Homo-oligomer: A and B are copies of this chain.
Amino acid sequence: MSASPLRVGIIGVGMMGADHADRLVHRTAGAELVAVSDPDAARAAALAARFAGVRTVGDPLELIADKDVDAVLIASPGFAHEEQVLACVEHGKYTLCEKPLTMDSESSLHVVEAERNKAGRPLIQVGFMRRFDPEYARMKRLLDSGDFGRILLVHNTHRNKTVPETFRSEMIVSDSLVHEVDVCRWLFDDEIATITVLAPKPTGRAADGLLDPQVAIFQMAGGGMATTEVFVNCQVGYEVRCEAVAELGNVTVGLGQDVFVRSDDHYGGHIPDDFRDRFARAYDLEVQAWVDASRRGEVVGPTTWDGYAATAVCTAGLQSLATGRPVPVDLADRAEILRGAAT
């Protein structure tokens, strides 16, 4: 591992980017936040002012190219990712790119190929932070231990207390369900072959026209299956649960029982509203793992392929949401792309 700290630049300092800045400075070992870039120059300046020694850079591509920036954390809006990630590949910068990798399958595949063919080695980690959540990680280890036999089914629950009025039915697939897409691909270690997205009669608590909740069914290439409820106006809090059912037993995460209270005729505990509370540790561990790996010259966690596959599944999911029918996922041949990289 490099003896000196990793010099990190952040692109995009909205909610997530600012959160990551705090994380890098206050809770991450071996990292130094050196530069930030945001189209909103005032916002960038305000953030930089909160820390010692952080520059603002107007042009994100300039930040990426900067020789004093070792690694780049991309927290800009999704539509800006493609250009920025490709620039990172070009400059050989280790990159943590918030999901989605890009806005559509084609451009995501382009990134996969660029990384393979131009960089010739992995550089990009995609921000599916759940893989770093201690509970999810423990579940994965238990399933991989072989003690439970083959994994057969996964049941996911993904609920938000409420969402803004601007949240559209499609975003339930592309912004919410995308996490379960990655979780299931990871747990099964397999691709999703077919996706069905069904919409029951919506809750009266959602904005008019929002298909909320939705129920998705994944059929894995190897025969496994997953069911997922996404309900973004559940009125209760942020609840993410996952039960993996294997041949010899089942494992559940997200029950969220820590501090236990008895008061006012009931027992139980608090369900926080904010996903950043629920996944605070996951984000911390994700960023620490990224910093550590970058200093070792490695990449860990979700790859560009994972980012591409998630986008491809969600694309099919949107089609299914529109028709109510199962839609096969159109995925490039991974082996072929890997061969491409070698040539």
Residues of A in contact with B (beta carbons under 8 Å apart): 1, 3, 24-31, 52-53, 134-135, 138-139, 142, 147-150, 152-153, 155, 157, 161, 198, 200-201, 203-205, 213, 215, 217, 219, 222-225, 227, 229, 231, 234-237, 239, 245, 247-253, 255-271, 273, 281, 288, 292
Q: Check B269 against A266 for contact (C-beta < 8 Å).
A: yes
Q: Could you list some 5 contacts between A and B, CB below 8 A?
A: A25-B29, A26-B292, A150-B203, A200-B223, A213-B245
A252 to B261, CA, bound (A): 6
Distance of A139 Cα from B269 Cα, bound (Å): 11
What 4 A-B pairs are tightest by C-beta distance, nearest first? A268-B268, A201-B223, A249-B263, A3-B52
Residues of B within 8 A of A250 (CB): 234, 236, 261-263
- Which one of A152, A223, A273 has the highest number of Cβ atoms from chain B below 10 Å of its Cβ? A152
Give Cα distance in the complex from A116 to B1, angstroms.
43
Q: Please, which residues of chain B bring their CB within 8 A of the CB of A152?
A: 200-201, 203, 213, 231
- Measured in the bound complex, the distance between the Cα atoms of B52 and A235 in whole Å is 51
Question: A17 to nearest B CB, angstroms?
Answer: 17
> Contact at A258–B262, with CB atoms within 8 Å?
no
B26 touches A27 (CB 8 A): no
Task: Give A289 Cβ to nearest chain B Cβ, in Å.
Answer: 11
Whether B236 lies near A264 (C-beta < 8 A) is yes
The reply to whether B271 and A262 form a contact with Cβ atoms under 8 Å apart is: yes
CA distance A258 to B273 in the complex (A): 19
**Looking at the complex, which one of B28, B150, B223, B259 makes contact with A135 (CB distance below 8 Å)?**
B259
- Report whether B256 and A267 are in contact in the complex, using a CB–CB cutoff of 8 Å: yes
Q: How many copies of the shown chain assemble into the complex? A: 4
Q: Is there an interface contact between B247 and A262, defined as CB atoms closer than 8 Å?
A: no
**B residues less than 8 Å from A245 (CB atoms):** 213, 229, 231, 234
Please determine whether A236 and B259 come into contact, CB atoms closer than 8 angstroms: no
- B253 near A260: Cβ-Cβ < 8 Å: yes
Tell me the bound Cα distance from A7 to B201 in angstroms: 48
Given contacts A201-B223, A224-B201, A225-B198, contact A259 B251 (CB under 8 A): yes
Question: Known contacts A229-B155, A229-B245; is A265 also within 8 Å of B270 by CB?
Answer: yes
- Residue in contact with A252 in the complex, picked from B231, B260, B292, CB distance below 8 Å: B260
**Residue pair A203, B149 in contact (C-beta under 8 Å):** yes
A3-B52, A29-B29, A266-B271 known; A251-B261 Cβ under 8 A: yes
Known: A155-B229, A252-B259. 8 other contacts (CB 8 A): A28-B29, A198-B225, A205-B247, A235-B249, A250-B263, A252-B261, A253-B259, A262-B271
Contacts of A247 in B (CB 8 A): 203-205, 235
Q: Do B267 and A271 have beta carbons less than 8 Å apart?
A: yes
A239 → B minimal CB distance (Å): 7
Residues of B within 8 A of A24 (CB): 29
Residues of B within 8 A of A217 (CB): 198, 215, 217
User: Do B258 and A266 touch (CB < 8 A)?
Assistant: no
Closest chain B residue to A233, Cβ basis: B247
Contact between B263 and A135 (Cβ–Cβ < 8 Å)? no
Interchain CA distance A28-B245 in the complex, whole Å:
37
Q: Is the CB of A270 within 8 A of B266?
A: yes
